[in-house]
Amino acid sequence: MKRRTALKKLGLGMASMPFLSFSGKDQVVHWDRGYGLEYTSDEEYWKQFKKAYYAVSEDFINLENGYFGIHPKSVHDAYLSNIKKVNTLGSNYMRNDFFPELAQIVQSLETFSGVEEGELLITRNATEALNVIIQGLRLEKGDEVLLSRHDYGSMIEIFEMLEQEEGIVLKIVPVPFDPKDDQEVIDAYMSQVTPKTKCALLTHMMHLTGQILPVAKIARALKAEGVEVVADAAHSYAHVDFNIPDLEVDFLGANLHKWFSSPLGAGLLYVKKDRISDLRALYGDSRLPKDDIRRLGHYGTPATPVVMTIPIALQFNKDITVPVKEARLRHLNQYWTQQARSIPKVIMNTPVDPNRSCAIASFGIEGIKSGDLVKRLYDEYGVFTVAASLEGRQVTRVTPGLYSLQTDFDRLLEGIQAIAKKA
């Protein structure tokens, strides 16, 4: 069952949840134009959508929405109200009301994600979730782990630490920047498998190139060889349309403060129910049963107002739907990348096939360091992006939000053309 179906089932209950300072219904911005795939390229529609839902700075063009998502007005207002509520009621609220409410919030996320009850935990971010998983797998000296330089740096560092402290062996998978098909990516991972391979990290959507990996296909092949598969869905969750079980992995970490649109400081930990007891807890717990996922989340007091606001972000996703978000974000990606590919000296780091990326894309210009390029785009054209490097390539990452418009990318392309011409 895809999320669009799950959302329909969830919808009636969300607006009436009694524990919210603001119900989802109360906080939905008045919007009478509807939502649908037919509006994907309708710029007038998205101009009005931006006006209704977002309050963003007009002092610059923000094309760095990959760090975290600017949340819509409904989420912003509810978050401020929840801060006030916690600060007014204090520990009376925390000790008597919050934790039963938390259980309901987790249950709503389980429905949204298409997982069974008792398979999710709210964390502070994907990095925390993946630390709990990876450090809980009991990897030993000589065990081989597959990862890619395209994976997120903090995840790579978890394994590098285990390499130093436990003696595991890291095998780097040569992920192609522009694969011709899924099999090329699958072969890249399977070529590194040996009898000593115990674990593989699969990033669903690469943070620097935006490439979407065929995680389910790779996971199926790896699990047939007895390899544990961990998925990093930090950028794909609520960005592209899938349910967690669709990826066919037993372990996954995700963010809620990126494409799900919750306030900063929320992520998700997923462990398939029959695998929970296999993980060693990173945070000490001697109370709960081995098969209770909550024993993996004994990390202290949560960012309570953030967690309280998650249902409002969920209501936003329910209203617009993930398929509509995905289509709009991919449209913006293709609008600028197709034009940028024809500009002399521009090197694209993102696959040509539209289905292999969504919002995120990156590029470089021959002879220009990415840091210098990012500075010039901002100083001369008012366009904010972010610089990085990857396997010897210069990376300028460009990431729209739902409030971004084609005119924002016209300005970006103006800057790219002018800078490339002088390079």
Domain 101-313, CATH class in plain words: alpha beta
Task: Give me the pLDDT at residue 17, please.
Answer: 33
Task: Give me the pLDDT at residue 8, please.
Answer: 37
pLDDT < 50 regions, the chain: 1, 3-28
Domain boundaries defined on the chain: 101-313, 324-422
Task: Give me the pLDDT at residue 21, please.
Answer: 38
Task: Give me the pLDDT at residue 423, please.
Answer: 83
How much is the mean pLDDT over the chain? 93
Task: Give me the pLDDT at residue 29, please.
Answer: 61
Task: Give me the pLDDT at residue 304, please.
Answer: 96
SS3 per-residue string spanning the chain: CCHHHHHHHHHHHHCCCCCCCCCHHHHCCCCCCCCCHHHCCCHHHHHHHHHHHCCCCCCCEECECCCCCCCCHHHHHHHHHHHHHHHHHCHHHHHHHHHHHHHHHHHHHHHHHCCCCCCEEEECCHHHHHHHHHHHCCCCCCCEEEECCCCCHHHHHHHHHHHHHHCCEEEECCCCCCCCCHHHHHHHHHCCCCCCEEEEEEECECCCCCCECCHHHHHHHHHCCCCEEEEEECCCCCCCCCCHHHHCCCEEEEECCCCCCCCCCCEEEEECHHHHHHCCCCCCCCCCCCCCHHHHHCCCCCCHHHHHHHHHHHHHHHHHCHHHHHHHHHHHHHHHHHHHCCCCCEEECCCCCHHHCCCCEEEEECCCCHHHHHHHHHHHHCEECEEEEECCEEEEEEECCCCCCHHHHHHHHHHHHHHHHHC
Task: Give me the pLDDT at residue 32, please.
Answer: 83
pTM over 0.85: yes
324-422 carries CATH number 3.40.980.10 = no
